[in-house]
Amino acid sequence: MAALVVRGVRDMLKRADFATVPRRHRHKKKWATTEPKFPATRLALQNFDMTYSVQFGDLWPSIRVSLLSEQKYGALVNNFAAQDHVSAELEQLSARDFVKEAISHGEPEPENGQTAAPSPASWACSPNLQCFTFARGDVSCFPPARLGSLGVMDYYLMDAASLLPVLALGLQPGDTVLDLCAAPGGKTLALLQTSCCRRLQKVLHSYVPQDIRDKNRVRVTSWDGRKWGELEGDTYDRVLVDVPCTTDRHSLHEEENNIFQRSRKKERQMLPMLQVQLLAAGLLATKPGGHVVYSTCSLSHLQNEYVVQGAIELLASQYSMEVQVEGLTHFRKLFMDTFSFFPSCQVGELVIPNLMANFGPMYFCKMCRMT
């Protein structure tokens, strides 16, 4: 009897779903040899055209063509390699260290007429990072990284905008650092390059010497990140929460592991909830007075600003925790010569793809746990 009821419910749901489809688009599976199939990349573009044209208005056509064009990369120098030699080789390619250049040209601006500079924790970039890019409009490509004389790779090719969340974290020597969603490892590698982390396997094995990995300076686990606030609450000085997202550029170019596959529709719809849970866990794992940077490689405000606001409200209501968003205006000014920033981001900063500087998308927001 139970099986009959279940079968009846399923039949009813099928009829209900079928009834919502316009007649001209209906087809009967029992007569059709194949169902209409669209590649996930095409479904992603249709979704973006529908949502981002509203979100970005007149900017969307420019962002769209940039997303569909070849991405620009940066070369993150591996400080565990012979870095002076590597930097010299990259300079010979007419590439520039955009981090060094930006910091050397930018000084903290006085606030409210005061002459004192802001606290280093509020504006300073994480130290010791070297990342080379080609100038705006230069579409040159870096050669593949090589195995250096010290047995590790010379540099790591990555979207240079991915370095911004790590820079914004403002690491200090001796910080205990958690990278809550570390795979595939580019930002984790950047964190280790700062020489500030006490704690944080293909990327690490290729770029980090074995003695560093063996001294318990790096701990890699597969625990559910949503539970980290319960497992190690009030523990870390700095937390990076680089969450799973729609990975907009990847979704337009790669069928493999594409979240716009029809079979992953529910997973895609649940992303904002997962992101709120991960950010909340990261904030719970942070010491009072510590800092968290939330980041995605999506343009969607539902995955960006709304998630930040949702996590802050959740923690306030359930844990009476106060979290303060820190402004990154000065930070944006430091790097505006390399990246194109969306001018109307309400919370945090968003790098938007631009043909002259085709990095991103990359959203990042810095927060301080007050209590």
Q: Is 185 annotated as a binding residue?
A: yes
> For 290, what's the count of Cα atoms within 13 Å in the CB-facing half-sphere?
22
Is the distance from CB of 18 to CB of 30 less than 8 angstroms? no
To the question of whether residue 242 is assigned a binding role by annotation, the answer is: yes
Residue 184 is labelled as binding a ligand: yes
| Dihedral of the alpha carbons of 142, 146, 148, 152, in degrees to the nearest 10 | 100
User: Is 141 an active-site residue?
Assistant: no
129 to 6, 80, 187: CA distances (angstroms): 59, 12, 11
Q: Hunting for tokens 């195995």 — which residue is that?
A: 147
186 is in an annotated binding site: yes
Contact 133, 95 (CB under 8 A): yes
Q: Please, how many CA atoms are within 13 Å of residue 70, restricted to the half-sphere of its CB?
A: 7
339 SS3 class:
coil
72 is in an annotated binding site: no
Residue at 128: amino acid letter: N
User: How far apart are alpha carbons 235 and 25 in whole angstroms?
Assistant: 55
**187 known member of a binding site:** yes
**If you search the block for the tokens 């047995």, which residue do you land on?**
151
d(CA 282, CA 180): 7
Asked whether residue 365 is marked as a ligand-binding residue, the answer is no
Indicate the SS3 state at residue 354: strand
Task: Check the annotation: does 224 bind a ligand.
Answer: yes
Query: E-assigned strands of the chain?
Result: 74-77, 96-97, 131-133, 155-158, 177-179, 236-242, 286-296, 323-326, 349-351, 362-369
Which of the following is catalytic: 125, 131, 197, 297?
A: 297
Residue type, 104: S
* Rounded distance between C-alpha atoms, residue 15 and residue 36, angstroms: 19
183 annotated as belonging to a binding site for a ligand: yes
- Round to whole Å and give the CA distance between 265 and 259: 7
Torsional sign, CA 264, 269, 271, 277: negative
CA distance 98 to 102: 6
Task: Just list the catalytic residues.
Answer: 297
Binding residues: 181-187, 224, 242
Binding residues for S-adenosyl-L-methionine: 181-187, 224, 242
